[in-house]
Chain A
Amino acid sequence: MMLVDFSIDIPSGEQNMASKYETVIGLEIHAELSTNSKLFCNCEVKFGSAANTQTCPICLGMPGVLPVMNQRAVEYSTRAALGLNCKIASYSKFDRKNYFYPDLPKGYQISQYDLPLAYDGYVDYELDGETKRVRINRIHLEEDAGKLVHADVTGNPNQSYVDFNRSCVPLLEIVSEPDLRSPEEAIAYWRAVKEILEYVEISDCNMEEGSFRCDANISLRPVGSKELGTRTELKNKNSFQHVLTALEYEEKRQARILDEGGEVIQETVLFDINTGRTASMRSKEEAHDYRYFPEPDLVPFEVDAAEVERIRASLPELPAERRQRFVAEYGIPAYDAEFLTATRQMADFFDETAHLSGDPKASSNWIMGDLSGLLNNAGIEIQDTQVTPDHLSELIQLINDQIISGKIAKSVLPDVFETGNPPKQIVDEKGLSQISDASAIESIVDQVIKENPGPAQDYRDGTQKAIGFLVGQVMKATRGKANPQMVNQLLQQKLSG
């Protein structure tokens, strides 16, 4: 598993805490489903629209409106749940979660309480070369709330506004068991879930746009203890780095409290990005009683077994399976497989290129090397480039058929990237194909030997490496188009003759 290397300033003198306590972390991951319309109304879901333009009486919580469930959201949720190895409930219902907040138009959120749509799943993820498993307690579907807009945006310090475009957008909540034992594990698991949701194409998991967020709870207990310690919660995070920093800070803070014989208070803590520290909210909101009860405006629903099987059959190969297959089928290193499965699109690209070219290792090298370099420079994803698996396999074949050298190929790929033209066309138009005709090269070889009597004599006298200089001169004279192997052979013949 690739992990971004965050450089974090860890306060010294507390490293030994880790050995005394075991860290226990659970995550609640929220992913917005990428359905075209909202969960309970027909409003379009589109990020970045002007405030309150994607609203209707239903998602504004007007008097008298009723929710009608978007069947597509249930299908998407089922896809996600199967991708996360969950069981699908045969009977499920919605409940009202009651609380007041200006971004919550009805004064309650339609969510699921005791009969979630999926339960009992797991995710396998890799960390430091080890495969680990996190159990998933439940997955439920709920509606998102609106978004508050404060003075920093409006310029008016005395008023805040609410944008309800996001209100009622379908949100999947994935609740893990407290199986994570370090902040790094939490992030690795979170990434694995993101990868799976992207693979099954139910969420774009765009963290900047807030469509993929998580709440984390963390507690410590003495090593060997089976009982869970008192936990604190971090809410609504949409950055891996923030969560990692916040959890690491909490881990140390709680350890210090326990060391001093104190008690951790169960509460939600706020994380300050600037200081890298958490702070207590110490608010009365802590005593929330959400007074859940069954949503009387919606009827309980069922996803029948045949539908579940149909969805299961339509699922793509998931990242973990795919990694294993890449190693087994293509004989590429595990590291390559890990890199290539980071997104479904890249894995698809590799799969196709490997098939077409018949050279998986070369395909992998090109994607991980030159192509990734071009993508990074342009700041785009693999699905957005003009380079296709057809192009790349053609390029690999041109090398393998000795029509161009690897070095020439490296100059052809940026051309393909820029123009979208097939490599062969570029090679032909620019006259880049290698000269593999011995008679055409022979005269140039003769010429080079004549012009460089010193190195020629050195070689004859036994200085093997002198031939390298002569090969270079031939390649220079042919502007790189001569087949280097053939040049080498010809030079050897001439000089030993």
Chain B
Amino acid sequence: MPLYELTAHELHEKLKAREITAVELTQSMYHRIGAVEEQIDGYLTLTEEGALESAAVADEGFQRGDEMPPLAGIPIAIKDVICTKGVLTTCGSKILGNFVSPYDATVMTKLHQQGAVMLGKTNMDEFAMGSSTENSAYQTTRNPWNLETIPGGSSGGSSAVVAAGAAICSLGSDTGGSIRQPAALCGVVGMKPTYGRVSRFGLVAFASSLDQIGPFSKDVTDCALVLNAICGHDPMDSTSADVPVPDFTKCLINDLEGVKIGIPKEYFTAGIDSEIEESVRSAIAVLQGAGATIEEVSLPHTDYAMATYYIIAPAEASANLARYDGVRYGFRATNADELGDMYRQTRSQGFGEEVKRRIMLGTYALSSGYYDAYYLKAQQVRTLIKSDFDDAFEKVDVVVTPTSPTAAFKIGERTADPLQMYLSDVLTTPANLAGLPGISIPCGLTSDDLPIGLQILAAPFEEEKILRAAYTFEQNTDHHRKRPKLSSK
């Protein structure tokens, strides 16, 4: 089996046994990237030189026989919304087209400490706003399972490169489903940790109260290993939680005896593709077979989640994106003749349509006279959505749902209809509003051979319950072993 098909934990064994070197592994990854990237277009920037240097450092450790961290020498891709020192960090936007970050995000510092190897920066919807990665100012990433379909979004580059074997793991960010939805559509594991679990320092903000960094991987074990590396309190992020981080690999137990699983009836309504519902129902049966008890729960305010999300997220974004003004860094329009015109021209030319749409939505929602009716009301509904989950988690350990109502759709199919596009996230946004951890794992393929994702949610800081259920499912099925049939050039 080629190295790119292996998981991080399998590669770690080979590195430790010195069957392979990290440099060889890295070189083989760039070879794979060269073979498939033309079809996928998942990367915006490749950092081969730095990657080979990191790999060489890891090799020295392995050769000395040091106790090496699980991600040492492991090739990882980073969503271009995470700041990487000395490397372009564009957020998929023209307005940051020339922006080289002067500092590393906290997650990057943590990955470097592990000795991980950064392969490059991945494509994304501009400023993480989108569900198909079609809103990138640079390129359209294609789903490795079917090159005519989208990979999901906004972290579509990060999910596609893992699915295509062009990275072993990757990091994405999830504001309304931007890790879980593309993971589902690309047939990989993707997890959004609890809000506050991973430092946001260096994650370019879309919606500060919703954003969270998380991993993509081929299996749940790798997911746990990346979580171990990136979680933890950061004094640089006031919203990061000062709570102990467990060793997430300890909860990877193939058994669900005594575990209660809730099925929220509001997530199985019209709009869910029947093949997807079928696949998720049979996944629930697998979990039941592993010892879990299944019960129906109700999350009565689910219907309001989309509207709530599309007020809060744009409102925060409208302020977060105000700093891109052409004054200090990034793109500046050259045809302006005075300050106000410089702002207008820079932002009109620098931002794409969807970003401008959301800035306007958010600005409107915060405006004097509308604030109470929109933003304040949305915050109140957010509290209700959270308390729905609080009630549910009094009865059950985890909640299981489909991740996305449909499988990957055709490129261009929904770009003309923003509302249709927004519905891609209808099952994932509630977890962001409530600050919950959530995972998407592969649970089958449609008749068109497109992956289907199973979403598992838990109460805040109970990632271990999610990982245990996901791991058990994985051990009793082989969906996670399926790979797209990409033809190398």
Contacts and interface: CB of A to CB of B under 8 A. Distances in A.
B457 to A, nearest CB: 22
Given A162-B327, A298-B238, A62 B101 contact: yes
B205 to A, nearest CB: 7
Interface string A68-110: 1100000000000000000000000000101010100111100
A67 interface: yes
Nearest to A285: B340
B200 interface: yes
Interface string A290-329: 0111001111000000000000000000000000000000
A53 to B, nearest CB: 15
B319 A63 contact: no
Interface stretch (B4-12, B214-222, B266-274, B365-373): B365-373
Given A100-B343, A102-B339, A162-B327, A67 B201 contact: no
Given A102-B339, A291-B363, A296-B209, A107 B325 contact: yes
Contact of A64 (B101, B315, B363): B101
A62 B329 contact: yes
B203 interface: yes
A296 B204 contact: no
Given A63-B89, A64-B205, A291-B367, A106 B102 contact: no
Interface residues of B, number: 43
A115 to B, nearest CB: 14
Contacts of A454: none
Contacts, number: 98
B204 A67 contact: no
B328 interface: yes
B450 interface: no
Given A62-B329, A107-B325, A162-B327, A293 B101 contact: no
Contacts of B239: 66, 296-299
A388 to B, nearest CB: 44
A289 interface: yes
A291 B320 CA distance: 13
Which of B83, B237, B328 counts the most chain A CB atoms within 10 A?
A: B328
B485 interface: no
Interface string A27-70: 00000000000000000000000000000010011111111110
Nearest to A289: B368
Interface of B (DSSP majority class): loop
B51 interface: no
Given A65-B201, A296-B208, A296-B209, A60 B367 contact: no
A296 B316 contact: yes
Interface string B343-372: 100000000000000000001001110010
Nearest to B375: A293
B64 interface: no
B91 interface: yes
Interface string B98-127: 010111010000000000000000000000
Contact of B366 (A66, A105, A293): A293
B236 interface: yes
Nearest to B237: A66
B102 A62 contact: yes
A282 B247 CA distance: 63
Contacts of B205: 63-64, 297
Contacts of B50: none
Nearest to A60: B328
A106 to B, nearest CB: 5
B103 A62 contact: yes
B367 A61 contact: no
Nearest to A63: B204
B65 interface: no
Contacts of B102: 57, 62
A274 B366 CA distance: 41
A61 B324 CA distance: 9
Interface string A133-145: 0000000000000
B252 to A, nearest CB: 32
B202 interface: yes
Contacts of B99: 63
B367 A64 contact: no
B96 interface: yes
A175 to B, nearest CB: 20
B323 A63 contact: yes
Contacts of B339: 102
Contacts of A292: 366
Which of B99, B204, B207, B238 counts the most chain A CB atoms within 10 A?
A: B238
Contacts of B200: 66
Interface string B323-344: 1010111000000000100010
A67 B238 contact: yes
Given A108-B319, A291-B366, A291-B368, A63 B236 contact: no
A68 B238 CA distance: 6
Contacts of A98: 318-319, 322, 366
Contacts of A100: 322, 325, 343
B182 to A, nearest CB: 21
Nearest to B369: A289
B109 to A, nearest CB: 13
Which of A69, A289, A297 counts the most chain B CB atoms within 10 A?
A: A297
5 contacts: A63-B96, A67-B238, A98-B366, A289-B367, A296-B316
The 9 closest A-B pairs by CB, nearest first: A107-B322, A296-B208, A291-B366, A296-B209, A63-B204, A64-B83, A64-B204, A64-B202, A289-B368
Given A63-B204, A63-B323, A68-B237, 4 more contacts: A66-B239, A102-B327, A291-B363, A291-B371
